[in-house]
Amino acid sequence: MTQPASATTDPGRNFLAVAEARAAILDGLSPVSGWERVAVRAALGRVLSADVIAPYNVPAHDNSAMDGYAVRATDLAADTETAVAVVGTAFAGRPFSGIVGAGQAVRIMTGASIPAGADTIVVQEVTRREGECVFVPPGQKKGQNLRHAGEDLAEGSVALAAGTRCGPAELGLIASLGIAEVSVRRPLRVAFFSTGDEIASIGRPLGPGEVYDSNRYTLYGALARLGCELLDMGVVPDRPEALEAAFREASEAADVIITSGGVSVGEADFIRDMMARMGEVAFWKLAIKPGRPMAFGRIGKAVLFGLPGNPVAVMVTFYQFVQDALLTLMGVSPLPPAAHFAASARFSLRKQSGRVEYLRGRLQRQGSALSVALAGAQGSGVLRSMAEADCFVVLAEDCTQVQPGDTVYVQPFHGLL
């Protein structure tokens, strides 16, 4: 069985292992400062900057978990059926105003307050009703089918902790507490641009040797889904003065800068040198495929990620390294765990040892068995493979081949992309 990515690095190569690269990126990052109060609906996707405290007990009163009859447990016989008189009805929002006395019962609906005197709910399905009398079978337990005040949340307790990213369930929980506004961290400001003289903006014909700029649109989608405040700086040509101006503008306006292209070792690849001259740089040849060249550092107050130029490599490095860094800067705590699970390979492949490979795959379920096939051509420039895939197949550093039927680990796109 192939194992998840190793955290070791081959000492004979200047490559950093995946786990070490992730740890090095996340170490020292802290959430951006600044917060604001927003209405509950506007909090979707935002990160709480302060705990949400329950202003009262939830539920606010003892209530019935089932439709049935509210009775006194002491009135029920242990071995035989018990007849009790029905003296009223309790609805959710319209409680029974009297007291349940000896030999009495109140018809009760789910969510209705428990009438005074009653301590047990008998579900209607097991009872037998004859006129104003209901017959309760033996075997009932005191306190059954009863929800106590504060059972979900006690008054003054933390309903949602600071660092929680609000989804639909969180919005509903906040609203259930009667809270109209919450404190959230300000949006993370991210500047991004593509580099390269061969990169053409969409909407005009391609010139000789040009390719359309897909990476900026991929990054826009990934960043917009995270709720970042975006500064799209377009395409910057491979000229040092143009790159310096772009970096200076971005570092003054944003918390994070993300570039694509220009981080390799070609004559026109200036990102690494520019980072070193303008700020701090840690340049890695990562032990992965695709996406080996990736730069990480700072320019001014801004964190910078220099991603590769190939479209698939951009997506792999973004989701394996950048996204958790952005969530950390947004104040998300704890970070959501990466989902990996085993599947049976439906492909064969030879692989170079010493690096983690991220293949694009499609999952298939037959009964309880899960298998994965490759999604088209696996080149780092074949963006279609990402569009056709629903998971990454993660092959560990020490894996050298995969045969049909072998167990491999997959990372589903659902919840990731």
Boundaries of every domain in the chain: 16-35+193-330, 36-58+151-185, 63-147, 341-412
Nearest to 8 by CA among 353, 394, 358: 353
Backbone angles phi, psi at 180, to 5 degrees: -95, -25
Q: What's the confidence (pLDDT) of residue 4?
A: 42
Q: How confident is the model at residue 23 (pLDDT cuts 50, 70, 90)?
A: very high
Copy the structure tokens of residue 285. 């040849």
C-alpha to C-alpha distance for 312 and 385, rounded to whole angstroms: 8
Number of other residues whose CB lies within 10 A of the CB of residue 375? 21
- Reply yes or no on whether the pLDDT at 111 is more than 80: yes
Amino acid 415: pLDDT: 77
Closest by CA to 85, choosing from 69, 104, 70, 98, is: 104
Peptide bond into 290 cis (omega under 30): yes
Q: Which range among 83-87, 255-259, 278-282, 383-387 shows the weakest confidence by mean pLDDT?
A: 278-282
pLDDT tens per residue, range 199-245? 888 888 998 988 889 999 999 999 999 999 999 999 998 888 898 99
Q: Is the pLDDT of residue 302 over 80?
A: yes
- Confidence (pLDDT) at 108: 98
Residue 278 · residue 349 · CB < 8 Å: no
User: Would you state the pLDDT for residue 28?
Assistant: 83
User: With bands split at pLDDT 50, 70 and 90, how would you rate the model's confidence at 278?
Assistant: confident
Q: SS3 of 79, please?
A: coil
What SS3 class is residue 59?
A: coil
Q: How far apart are CA 405 and CA 121, in angstroms?
A: 54
Judge whether 16-35+193-330 and 36-58+151-185 match in fold: no
Give yes or no for residue 29 having a pLDDT over 50.
yes
Any idea which architecture 341-412 has in CATH? Beta Barrel (2.40)
Q: What is the DSSP string of 135-162?
A: EE-S---TTTTEEPTTSSB-TTSEEE-T
Total residue length of the chain: 417
Q: Is the pLDDT of residue 5 over 60?
A: no
CATH architecture group of domain 36-58+151-185: Alpha-Beta Complex (3.90)
Q: Average pLDDT, stretch 15-29?
A: 90
CATH number of 16-35+193-330: 3.40.980.10
- CATH, range 63-147: 2.170.190.11
Average pLDDT (349-361) is 94
What is the Cα–Cα distance from 90 to 109, expressed in whole angstroms?
A: 6
For residue 43, pLDDT beyond 90: yes
pLDDT digits (tens, 9 = 90+) for 146-193: 999 999 999 999 999 999 999 999 999 999 999 999 999 999 999 999
Q: What pLDDT does 186 receive?
A: 97
Token pair in block for residue 206? 């391609």
Q: How far apart are CA 236 and CA 249, in angstroms?
A: 12
- Reference 296, options 266, 271, 332; nearest CA is 271
Residue 261, Cβ neighbours under 10 Å: how many?
27
Amino acid identity, position 73: A
Residue 10's pLDDT is what? 44
CA separation for the pair 358, 417 (Å, rounded): 14
In this predicted structure, what is the pLDDT of residue 274? 74
Spatial distance between the Cα atoms of 172 and 369, rounded to a whole number of angstroms: 36
Please choose, from the candidates 391, 396, 397, the residue with its C-alpha nearest in 3D space to the C-alpha of residue 410. Answer: 391
C-alpha distances in angstroms, 158 versus 56, 164, 335? 11, 12, 19
Average pLDDT over residues 52-76: 96
